[in-house]
Amino acid sequence: MDQATQLRNIIKANSVNYGPKARVLTVTSGKGGVGKSNVSINLAVKFSKMGKKVVILDADFGLANIEVMFGAIPKYNLADLIYKGMGIKDIITEGPDGVGFISGGSGIAGLTNLGKDYINYLIQNLAQLDTLYDVIIIDTGAGISDAVLEFLVASREILLVTTPEPTSITDSYSLLKALNRDSRFNREMTEVKIIANKTENFEEGKQLYTKLSTVVSRYLKLPMKFVGVIPNDSQLVKAVMQQSPVSISAPNSRASLAFDDLAKTLMSEDGQMVTTKHGMAGFFASMVKGKRFT
């Protein structure tokens, strides 16, 4: 039996007893400092206020942005689940408004090098997230690295955060170019959605998207969709300093209202995502597919 068949059997065995698949949103950016983690956190809060159960996986193992912005220090991370036998519920830390988050810690780095027994145990636990949550947000590292691409090629719904800065637009294009070149990337099964952050107004955000989309369409032939704008807002900067999501600390601010619109736009598409949802276990299966394990 080849490795791919073994993996499919593991997934099938661990998915029989689980219900509907959660919606997995992977938030990424071509460079650091564009507000990617702010988008992850505030979208999570907005989804929660809409009655959705939400958890964030902090997959930026070089930094701990999510826990810092939430002002909450997790006791455990993904490595404790993989190597110390803890259950998935044990490593979930509760953040504001009932949003859960999982610190990737050092566990993220070794995901694709696990043995079969570890994979089996991990998938059993990750599959539980599909029964516990409606939405799972994966906050990747910034930039073009092997670790980031591992998450993106496994994703079916990518939220790419960019800003009007020329370097941000260039780096976003470079990220999409690297993703497009990856042999594992399935463009037919993946939706790339653009979020324009730190703009002066909606028009600037739409112009940013048009500029990026024109180049991407011409050279990569990769379809993208514009889903929203987050304007510059001093209240958002203040919220970061206070380690509180702006959606909670300043609910009537420009940024918070923009996150309202963005969350509603994304949720309005939820009914269209039924055929492409593959849940967290399916997401991880895509990550390790074709990897060597024993």
Q: What is the mean pLDDT of the chain?
A: 83
pLDDT-above-90 percentage for the chain: 47
**Which distant-in-sequence residues (6+ apart) come within 8 Å of 66 by Cβ?**
37, 40, 41, 56, 58, 95, 101, 103, 139
* Phi, psi dihedral angles at 207 (to 5 degrees): -65, -40
- Residues 126/282, Cβ–Cβ less than 8 Å: no
Neighbours of 285 (CB within 10 A): 23
Give the number of residues written for the chain: 294
One-letter amino acid at 35 equals G
Q: What residue has token string 């470079």?
A: 174
Greatest mean pLDDT among 103-112, 242-251, 283-292 lies in 242-251
**d(Cα 272, Cα 157) in Å, to the nearest integer?**
12
How far apart are the C-alpha atoms of 141 and 293, rounded to whole Å?
25
Tell me the CA distances in angstroms from 229 to 38, 68, 111, 156, 161, one per residue in order: 13, 24, 33, 21, 10
| Residue closest to 283 by CA, chosen among 44, 22, 99 | 22
**8 Å CB contact between 101 and 92:** yes
pLDDT digits (tens, 9 = 90+) for 255-279: 999 999 999 999 997 655 444 566 7
d(C-alpha 112, C-alpha 109), whole Å? 8
Question: Rounded distance, CA 120 to CA 254, Å?
Answer: 45
- Summarize pLDDT for 46-95 with one digit per residue, the tens: 999 999 999 998 887 555 677 777 877 888 888 888 888 888 999 999 88
Burial class of residue 128 in the structure, from the number of CB atoms within 10 Å of its CB (0-12 exposed, 13-18 middle, 19+ buried): middle
What mean pLDDT is predicted for residues 267-293?
63
Q: What is the pLDDT of residues 2-48, one digit of tens each?
A: 545 555 565 555 554 545 678 999 999 998 889 998 999 999 999 99
Residue pair 97/248 in contact (Cβ under 8 Å)? The answer is: yes
Question: So what's the pLDDT on residue 146?
Answer: 79
Strands 135-139 and 157-162, bridge-based pairing = unpaired
Structure-block tokens of residue 257: 């209202």
Residue located via tokens 């930026």:
60
